[in-house]
Structure 1
Amino acid sequence: MKKLNETEINTILQDLQGWHFIDNGLETSFEFPNFKDAFSAITRIAFEAERLQHHPDWSNSYNTLTIRLTTHDADGVTEKDVEFAKLIDELVA
């Protein structure tokens, strides 16, 4: 899959609220009312990650989930990351 250039990524980010292009990846954080809601979101995302065979780098601290998407084979952001970011936004909404 083709690595997107910075201009393409910045254009895409206009439609991805809360996502940022940092160190060759897409990153965001979500804050939930409590740990249970954060963990529920993680579980929903994990099932989709496995289905897509595209796994995020993430961390969870109590009610906050931080996610980083990058395609390691392409050494950067690809359309696969963009589509997964959109799906994550739907799952968390």
Structure 2
Amino acid sequence: MTDVQISAHLARVPGWALVDGAIEKTFRFDDYHRTMAFVNALAWIAHREDHHPDLRVSYDRCTVRFNTHSVGGISINDFICAARVDALLTD
């Protein structure tokens, strides 16, 4: 994807940012139980999509990082998965 395409797609997934060749977002939670529930739900989505992010998990937060190794950068799949991860937390 070009920088212009990436910027356009980032505008559609609030809170996600371009960081060192990937898109990433940190999600914050009240406690470890909620953090792990999020991680488990995210793992189900990643398995279903066959598109697996890098995760950094702490007590009250999880940083999710998507890029597509097969294209050596960012693809539309990264943004699709980012939107699906965001949907886990909408009412």
TM-score by length of 1: 0.93
Q: Distance in 1 between matches of 2:41 and 2:75?
A: 22
Aligned residue number for residue 62 of structure 2 = 65
Query: How many residues of Structure 1 are paired with residues of Structure 2 in the alignment?
Result: 90
Mapped pair 1:47 → 2:44: yes
Q: Distance in 2 between matches of 1:21 and 1:60?
A: 19
TM-score by length of 2: 0.95
Mapped pair 1:16 → 2:19: no
Q: Give the drift of 1:14.
A: 1.1
Aligned residue number for residue 6 of structure 1 = 3
Identity of aligned residues (%): 29
Q: Distance in 2 between matches of 1:38 and 1:72?
A: 26
Q: Distance in 1 between matches of 2:20 and 2:62?
A: 19
* Aligned match for 1:89, one of 67, 70, 86: 86
Instruction: Give structure 1 regions of 4+ aligned residues with deviation exceeding 2 angstroms.
Output: none
Q: Distance in 1 between matches of 2:22 and 2:55?
A: 12
> Structure 2: 5+ residue runs without aligned partners?
none
Amino acid at match of 1:38: T
Helix, strand or coil: the match of 1:76?
coil
RMSD between superposed Cα atoms in Å: 0.8
Q: Give the drift of 1:88.
A: 0.3
